[in-house]
Structure 1
Amino acid sequence: MRIALIADTFPPLRTSGAVQLRDLSREFVRQGHALTVMLPSADLDRPWMIEDLDGVEVLRLRAPKTKDIGYVRRTIGEFVMPFSMLKNLRKSPLAQERWDGVVWYAPTIFLGPIAGALKKASGCKGYLIIRDIFPEWAVDMGLMGRGLPYRFFKAVERYQYSVADVIGVQTPGNLTYFRKWTQPPGRRLEVLQNWLGAPANAPCSIAVKDTPLAGRKVFVYAGNMGVAQGMDILLDLAVRMRAREDVGFLFVGRGSDARRLAADAQARGLDNVVFRDEIHPDEIPSLYAQCHIGVVALDRRHKTHNIPGKFLTYMQSGLPVLASINPGNDLASLIDQERVGRVTTDASADSLAQAATELADALDANPGFAARCKALSARLFSAETAVRQVVMALD
C-alpha cells in the first residue's frame, strides 16, 4: 500500500512518540509498503524538504514553532500548523500523490485538516492512532477548567475524530470514551497496543558503576518528568528506602519538573538518588542492562487509561516494573496478571515503599521476571503486529 503517516514528532526528537513512530515507519517498509511520513518543521528555510530514513520517505513541511514555547503561542501554532503543512505540501513534488491510506498520530489533536484533505483527494480511509485523550487528561490534572479554552479544544478534538474511519486506542479502558463516536455507520473502534521495534545496541553514555549507585539494585526511571507523571512520590519513596544501602534510584530524562526534582533530591540529602540528562533512545537498552527494576509514575488524578512507552522499553529489556499509577488504569491489571512487577494506585509513599521492598527482595528469589517481561513484550507490543493491524483496517 502507498501510505501517508502524519505526525508532529519524529527523530531527531527523542520523545517516546518519536521513537514509536520511527519503529512503526521502519516496520511499514519492512513489510513492503511505500510510506511517506509528513512532519511540521519550524526550522526549514524553504517550504519543504524530503529525506530518506532507513528506507522511509520523510517529508518535512515548514510550519510554525510548537515546541518549548508558552501555552498561548503553542495553541496558536498548533492551530495554524496543519494549514501551513497543506500549503507547503502543495509546493512539493508530492502535491499530486495519491494514497491508499492515511494514518495520523495523536497527540496532537490538530492534524484533522491535513488528514481530511489527503483522504478526500485520494478517496481512501483514515486511521487515527490515539495515545492520549486531550483535553480530558488536562482537566483531570487541574491544568484546565471547562471554560472557553476547554470548549475550543473539544471542538478541535471532535473534528479530528470526525475525519477518522478507524480509531485505535491503546487500552480497552479507553473504548468507552468513544462509544458515541461509533454510532454513525462505517466507523470502527479498536485497541491498537503500543509497540516497539527491535532494540538498538548503542553504548550508553551513563556508566552506573561510576555513580554513587554502583553495586546497588538500581530502580531506573527514563523519560519525561512533567506534571502528568506526578513524580514527587518517587522522591518520597527514596526517602523511605534510604536505610537500604543495597538499593538506589536513577532518573534519566528531561521535562518541566526535572530541575525541580533534582534540586529537591539534593536539598533532602538523598545519596541514594542520581539524576542524569536525557540520552539518545538508542542508548536506552544499554542503560537498562545496568539496572534492575523500571519505574512508572502517573499522577493519580488521571481518569483515562495509559500504558506509557517507558513500560514497553522495560518489558523489552526484561526489567520488572514498580508502578505508581491512577486508580482503575488498565496497566495495573496487566502488571498483576502477567506477574511482571508491583503496582500501587493509592498515591501513598508508604504503600509504594512496601511494593518496592517486595520487588527488590523478589529479584533474587524469582529469576523468572526477565523471561516473563520479554515474553509479554513479544506477544503484545511488537511493531510488526501494529502495522499488520493498521493495514488490515485500511485495506
Structure 2
Amino acid sequence: MKVLFLTMVKINSFKDRGIYTDLLRKFYEEGHEVFAVCPIERREKKKTSIRKEKEGTILNVKTFNLQKTNIVEKGLGTLAIEYQFLSAIKKHFFKEKFDLVIYSTPPITFSKVINFIKKRDDAYSYLLLKDIFPQNAVDMKMLKENGILHKMFLDKEQTLYAISDTIGCMSDANKNYILKHNPSINSSKVEINPNSVQPRDFNQNEVEKKTVRLKYNLPNDKKIFVYGGNLGKPQGIDFLLETILSATDKNAFFLIVGSGTEYDRIEKWFTEIKPGNALLLAGLPKRDYDLLLNACDVGLIFLHKDFTIPNFPSRLLSYLEMKMPIIAATDEITDIGWVIEENKCGYKVISGDVKSMQNVIGDILSDETNFNQMKDNAWNLLQKEYRVERSYNLIKEKVNV
C-alpha cells in the first residue's frame, strides 16, 4: 500500500522520534511505501526539495513562515499552504498512485489536496484530529467570533470533515465535542485514535541522572517538576509562573524548558523575579531533551483556563514514557486530567486554582510510596493506551488493499 502523509510539522527524517514519525515508521515496518509532505518555511531560505530515505520519501515544500511569526503571515501561510502542497505533489508525485492519505490538524486547509488525491487515486482519507480550529483561536481571542475570518475558517473546517472518510479523535471528550458541534457528521466515521508512540525505555541509573542534573545546574536533593514543550498563549503560562511563585515546599524545584511566543515574556519574568526554586531553559535537541526529562521527577501540563474545546497535549506521552507522575492544570472541558487520575498516575487541577495546585504538589512530595506507584502506573498507561500499534491498526483496517 502507498501511504501519503500531509502535515504542517517539519519532518527532518523518518528516524526522528515523535507521534507522526513513529506512525510512519510503523507503516514502513509493515511493508508499506511511505511518502510525507511537510513545509520548509521561508526563513530557512531553501527551495522545495525531495529526499529519499530507507523508510520513505520526504517532500519539503517551501511555504511562508507558519510558526513563531506574526499573525498576518501565519494566516496567509495557512491559507496558501494547500496550493503550495498541491502544486508540489503534482510536480513530484505525478507517477505515484496512493491508496491512503493521512493528514492532521492543524491546518484545516488541506481540502483541495485531499480531494485531488481521492479523485485521482481513489484513495482512502483519514484525519488525525489534533486541533479543533477555528474554535481554539476564538477561545484565545485570536479570531473574532462570527467575524469574516471565523466564518471562512468554519466553512473550511466543515469541508475537511466532510471529505474525511474517518476522523480519528484523541480522546472521548474530543469525539463527543466533534459530534455535538457538527451534527451533519455521521457518528460511524468518528473514532478514538489517540496520540501514540513507539515507547523507549530510558534506563538511566542514578549516577547518570545526577550527571545530567549537574550539567544543567539542577539540584540533586529536590524533586524536579518539569514543564517541557511549547510556551504559547494556549498553555496558560500565567498560572505556570504563579505556581512557581506560590510554592512554599523547599523540596520542590521547577524547570521550564521549551520555546514559543511566550518565551521572551517568561525570560523577562525570570530576570525580574529571580526565583530561587526554578530554572528556565531554551528548547533543546530531542535527544538532549529526553535525557534531561528522564532526570526529572514530575511532569507538568498546563492549558489556558478559557478553552471551550477539549485539548489533549501530546507531551503527556513524553512524561508517561519517562515513568513520571503528572499534574495537569487545565480548563474544565478537557478530559486529560480525568485520564491521569483514573489511571492513578497523577492529579488534575483547574487552571488558576493555586490552593489545589499546591495541595497536589504537597501530596506528591509527602508520600514516596504513592509516588513510586504512580511512576509504574504511568508506564502501564502508555503501554495500554498509547502505543503506535493501536493507531496503525485502526487506520490500516479501514483500507481495503
Relative to the length of structure 1, the TM-score reads 0.91
* In 1: Cα distance, 2:325 partner to 2:360 partner: 12
Q: Summarize the Cα distance change of 1:324–1:118 in structure 2 as closer, same or farther, 3 Å threshold.
A: same
Q: Which residue of 1 aligns with 2:220?
A: 214
SS state of the match for residue 244, structure 2? helix
Q: Summarize the Cα distance change of 1:266–1:200 in structure 2 as closer, same or farther, 3 Å threshold.
A: farther
Q: Summarize the Cα distance change of 1:346–1:77 in structure 2 as closer, same or farther, 3 Å threshold.
A: closer
- CA distances 1:132-172 after superposition (whole Å, capped 9, x unpaired): 10111121222322111211211221222222111111111
Conserved? CA contact 1:169–1:190, under 8 Å: yes
Alignment of 1:1-395 (within 5 A): 1-12=1-12, 19-43=18-42, 48-53=48-53, 55-92=55-92, 94-146=93-145, 147-179=147-179, 181=182, 183=184, 188-199=189-200, 207-210=212-215, 211-241=217-247, 243-345=248-350, 347-395=352-400
Conserved? CA contact 1:129–1:167, under 8 Å: yes
- CA distances 1:87-144 after superposition (whole Å, capped 9, x unpaired): 222222x213111111111111111111111111011210011101011112122232
* In 2: Cα distance, 1:33 partner to 1:187 partner: 26
Conserved? CA contact 2:37–2:61, under 8 Å: yes
Which moved further from structure 2: 226-235 or 62-71?
Answer: 62-71
* In 2: Cα distance, 1:265 partner to 1:65 partner: 29
* In 1: Cα distance, 2:263 partner to 2:45 partner: 32
Q: Summarize the Cα distance change of 1:54–1:344 in structure 2 as closer, same or farther, 3 Å threshold.
A: farther
SS state of the match for residue 223, structure 1? strand
Identity of aligned residues (%): 20
SS state of the match for residue 193, structure 1? coil
User: 2:114 corresponds to which letter in structure 1?
Assistant: A
Deviation at 1:207, TM superposition (A): 3.2
Deviation at 1:37, TM superposition (A): 0.6
* In 1: Cα distance, 2:187 partner to 2:124 partner: 11
Which moved further from structure 2: 116-125 or 363-372?
Answer: 363-372
Q: Summarize the Cα distance change of 1:186–1:234 in structure 2 as closer, same or farther, 3 Å threshold.
A: closer
Deviation at 1:386, TM superposition (A): 0.7
Q: Summarize the Cα distance change of 1:103–1:197 in structure 2 as closer, same or farther, 3 Å threshold.
A: same
* In 2: Cα distance, 1:362 partner to 1:271 partner: 24
- CA distances 1:253-282 after superposition (whole Å, capped 9, x unpaired): 001111212321332231101000101223
Deviation at 1:47, TM superposition (A): 6.7
Which moved further from structure 2: 316-325 or 146-155?
Answer: 146-155
- CA distances 1:59-89 after superposition (whole Å, capped 9, x unpaired): 2233333333321222122212111221222
Q: Which runs of 5+ in 2 are unaligned?
A: none
SS state of the match for residue 167, structure 2? strand
Deviation at 1:185, TM superposition (A): 6.4
Conserved? CA contact 1:29–1:35, under 8 Å: yes
* In 2: Cα distance, 1:68 partner to 1:328 partner: 27
Conserved? CA contact 2:223–2:253, under 8 Å: yes
SS state of the match for residue 230, structure 2? coil
* In 2: Cα distance, 1:42 partner to 1:264 partner: 30
